[in-house]
Amino acid sequence: MASVNGVRDNLELCFVFFVFFLSLASGQLSSTYYDSSCPKALSTIRSAVRAAVAKEHRMGASLLRLHFHDCFVNGCDGSVLLDDTASFTGEKTAGPNDMSLRGFDVVDSIKSQVESVCPQVVSCADILAVAARDSVVALGGPSWTVQLGRRDSTTASLSNANNDLPAPTSDLSTLISAFAKKGLSSSDMVALSGSHTIGQARCTTFRNRVYDDSNINSSFATSKQSGCPRSGSDDQLSPLDTFTPSFFDGCYYKNLVDNKGLLHSDQELYNGGSTDSQVSNYVKNPAKFFTDFATAMVKMGRISPLLSPSGEVRVNCRKTN
């Protein structure tokens, strides 16, 4: 009897070890992923992001958006960073990205600083996730613990970038389903849209809103029209949050309640639909926006990551190894 139990215990022990090694081999996201392999990874990224944001506040917005555009296209796998070549088509020329995404040089600089402390250990996808968090913090927003261990893709998808990134012309139900497709709720969508409390948009993305929408404050519309003529000046910039574009705060939602959302898609969050109450709640309680935003960013960062042994750690974020 004792020996039978002994055999069973050994088998159970083996099984436990088997599962343990399996999970090491297949990998999973963890906040301590680089603690022993690259203890300086997080501090190196943080100081590089702080320097970049101090030099240009908008860079914080641009880095945050890169992580979003990475995660929504085949998961958070660094695919957005791959350059086009004669034989490779990346995502940079997709409608939502072309002439719009920025910060690639800053990512290159962060990556080379990280490479110099630990060569080929920290993925580009993880750098984007950490840089997004550090950018929000640098501009006065909430902090959160970043899950790590994403690997970089060797592929990209122009068509998924065109299909899966929501357009500024979207109505509420289209926005809700675009996020649902990525496992994010309507409430995550409203919280994450609070990112538009920082950064800039081009005239071409809000022209129809300021000329044709009726749910817009008329003096706001007139002032936005002056920087965005009916035709031409497509690339003329306007802050997404007119009042505090360099501060990560809850003013975005106050703008919506005042019918001063810059994008049509922004104003859809407060236009008589199911998300109105969440928006007015955030106006009353900005701290709730901060905690919901942080939680939703962690969720977004978990969208189908590439895990070891899949993918690679790119040496140069712009090309596969």
Ligand X SMILES: *[C@@H]1O[C@H](CO)[C@@H](O)[C@H](O)[C@H]1NC(C)=O
Which residues does the annotation place in the binding site for substrate?
Answer: 166
Task: CB nearer to ligand X: give 69 or 264.
Answer: 264
Asked if residue 154 binds ligand HEM (CB under 6 A), the reply is: no
Per the DSSP assignment, residues forming a β-bridge with 313 are none
Q: How many Å is the Cα radius of gyration of the chain?
A: 22
Structure tokens of 297?
């960013």
Nearest alpha carbon to residue 153 among 313, 303, 23, 316 = 313
Cβ within 8 Å of residue 113, ≥6 positions away: 44, 48
Judged by CB under 6 A, the chain residues 118 through 137 that form the site for ligand HEM are none
Interface characters, 101-120, with ligand HEM (x: CB under 6 A): -x------------------
The alpha helices in the chain, defined as continuous H runs, are 2-26, 41-55, 58-71, 104-117, 124-138, 158-164, 172-180, 186-193, 203-212, 218-226, 251-257, 264-268, 276-284, 286-300
Judged by CB under 6 A, the chain residues 218 through 277 that form the site for ligand X are 219-220
* Interaction partner, residue 217 (ligand HEM, ligand X, none; CB < 5-8 Å by kind): ligand X
Among 217, 308, 310, 320, binds ligand X (CB under 6 A): 217
Judged by CB under 6 A, the chain residues 228 through 267 that form the site for ligand HEM are 240, 263, 265
Q: How many CB atoms lie within 10 A of CB 285?
A: 13
Task: CB nearer to ligand HEM: give 191 or 313.
Answer: 191
Per the DSSP assignment, residues forming a β-bridge with 85 are 88
| Catalytic residue status for 67 | no
Minimum CB–partner distance for residue 193 and ligand HEM (Å): 5
Task: CB nearer to ligand HEM: give 161 or 189.
Answer: 189
Q: Which residues are annotated as a binding site?
A: 70, 73, 75, 77, 79, 91, 166, 196-197, 241, 244, 249
Q: Which residue has the tokens 């998300």?
A: 275
Q: How far is CA 290 from CA 136, 179, 194, 241, 249, in A?
A: 11, 19, 9, 16, 8
Task: CB nearer to ligand X: give 220 or 247.
Answer: 220
Q: Which residues are annotated as a binding site for heme b?
A: 196
Q: Which stretch binds ligand HEM (CB under 6 A): 82-90, 148-156, 165-173, 251-259?
A: 165-173
Pairwise CA distance, residues 61 & 76, whole Å: 18
CA contacts within 13 A on the Cβ side of 230 = 1
Judged by CB under 6 A, the chain residues 4 through 63 that form the site for ligand X are none
* φ, ψ of residue 123 in degrees (nearest 5): -75, 155
Residues lying near ligand HEM in the complex (CB under 6 A): 58, 61-62, 64-65, 68, 100, 102, 166-168, 170, 175, 189, 192-193, 195-196, 198-202, 205, 240, 263, 265
Residues lying near ligand X in the complex (CB under 6 A): 217, 219-220
